Every structure is written in C-alpha cells, then in structure tokens.
Amino acid sequence: MNSANDAGLNTSVDKREYEEPRLVDLQDDILESICRSFSKTSRKTKEKKEDVGEPKKIPSPPKQFTETDGVTKTSVEYNDLPPCISDLPDKLKKFAKDYTKDPKDTGTLFELYVCEVLKYCGYKNATWTGMSGDRGCDIELKYVDTRNETRKTVKVVIQCKYRTKGVINKDAINEARDAKMTKKYDLAWCIISTRFKEDALEKARRDRVTAIDGEQFYKKYLSVARNKGFKY
C-alpha cells in the first residue's frame, strides 16, 4: 500500500495557521473594548449635562397669615363678609338713619344692630351697654331657662366685633371671657360679622364662650328677625 507521501499529498500542518489565541491577547482585546465603550458613555453624559442647564427654582408658597390690629387677613375665601350678609354695610347705614341721631362708628352701629335683632328674636330685655371702657360688655340680656325645672334666670354678656374683611382672632374671645368673669354673668357670647380664626375657636371651646360668626348670626338670629318684621 502506498503512503500518503507516495500519492503526492502534502500532509504537513502549518502550526502558526491553527495556533490558538493566547489568553493575554484576549484580555488586551477585552480591555480595549471596555475603554472605548466607557469613553463613548462619558461623552454622551457630558453632552446631556451641558444641555440641561441651571435647575429651575420652585417658587415659595404665598404667605397666608398676616396679623394686624387683632384682625388676621387670609386668603380670598375668608376675605369678605359671608354672602348671606354681604348687604350688611348698606343695612347698617339705613339702620343708623332710623335708629340713631348720631351715626356713630360702624363698630357701635353693629352693636346696636345686633341688640335690635335680638329683641326681634324674643330677647326683649336685650340692652346695649357698649361704651368706652365697657371691658368686653357690649350687650347684656336675660332669659329664663325653661329646660331647667327651677326656671333659672340666665344672664348673658355679649361681645361684638364688626369687620368687612379679615378674620377675628382670639382677642375677642378673651374680652368676652373677661367680661363674664368680672361682672359675674352666666354665659358669654361673641358675635362677629366675618369669621373666626382657628385659634379663636379653640380658645372659645376651652373658655366656654359661644362663638357666633357672621353666617351663624344670620341663620340663628337675623333671618328670624327679618321674618318677624325687622327690615334691615
């Protein structure tokens, strides 16, 4: 049998052609690839940062409360008289012409107005006591407590505050409480034309003062008085 060499075939293998790649060469290729990839990513990140620019400033919320002279002005929601008594300034002017010779200031007018409203509501002995140095006692009244078997006569002191804007703080409640304690009344009410600040309502609960805002005044007393003939 003839050998492969005899057949003229070259069976020699070029070892360089089939030599396996060395581990060192593979590591170099991988490192080079990682470096190229990292370089591209760094350039893209830098370009994005340059495009973003300065961060936008978030505006701070508007200041909600500003206290001045015992009245706290707040948002539009609390900035006017309640809709049910939005005509109160005009009513006070008409009331002043018919009930008083001297128009006086609006605070005094409101006290007289509330006193007359209470009379129409059945508190016939309601009396205006407001004057300089009244120490929180603008109106006083008495009524018989029919819920009690002894039918005790209850004496009430009332502090009034008139505003067309803003809410009333706890100073008004303090005045009503002090008048009750100083002059030994059984109950203290505080009637206002707008709304109470939250701290005033909390103070009223602690000191047992009945806080009546403009809307409650209309529902409990003014609407009743008008149904009974009060035209203001």
Mean pLDDT within 46-54: 49
Q: DSSP for 177-228?
A: HHHHHHHT-SEEEEEESSEE-HHHHHHHHHHT-EEE-HHHHIIIIIHHHHHT
pLDDT in tens, 52-64: 444 444 334 333 3
Asked if 221 contacts 213 with a C-beta cutoff of 8 angstroms, the reply is no
Angstrom distance (rounded) from CA 34 to CA 155: 92
pLDDT in tens, 161-175: 999 998 999 999 999
pLDDT at 95 over 70: yes
Mean pLDDT within 108-116: 94
Q: Which residues contact 8 (CB under 8 A, 6 or more apart)?
A: none
Mean pLDDT within 177-198: 93
pLDDT at 135: 72
Where are any strands of DSSP class E within the chain? 66-68, 71-73, 127-128, 139-144, 153-161, 167-168, 187-192, 195-196, 210-212
pLDDT at 197: 94
Asked if 228 contacts 120 with a C-beta cutoff of 8 angstroms, the reply is yes
pLDDT in tens, 114-164: 999 999 999 999 999 876 566 779 999 999 988 877 788 999 999 999 999
Residue-range domains of the chain with CATH: 66-227 (3.40.1350.10)
CA 36 to chain centre: 59
What average pLDDT does the chain have? 76
Higher pLDDT, 22 or 171: 171
Higher pLDDT, 123 or 9: 123
Higher pLDDT, 37 or 75: 37
pLDDT in tens, 62-83: 333 333 333 333 333 445 899 9
Query: Token pair 């900035």 is at which residue?
Result: 79
The greatest distance separating any two alpha carbons of the chain, rounded to the nearest whole angstrom, comes to: 151
Angstrom distance (rounded) from CA 146 to CA 159: 24
pLDDT at 231 over 50: yes
Higher pLDDT, 36 or 188: 188
DSSP 126: -
Provide the CB-side half-sphere exposure for 128 (13 A, CA).
Answer: 18
pLDDT at 3: 47
Instruction: Quote the pTM value.
Output: 0.65
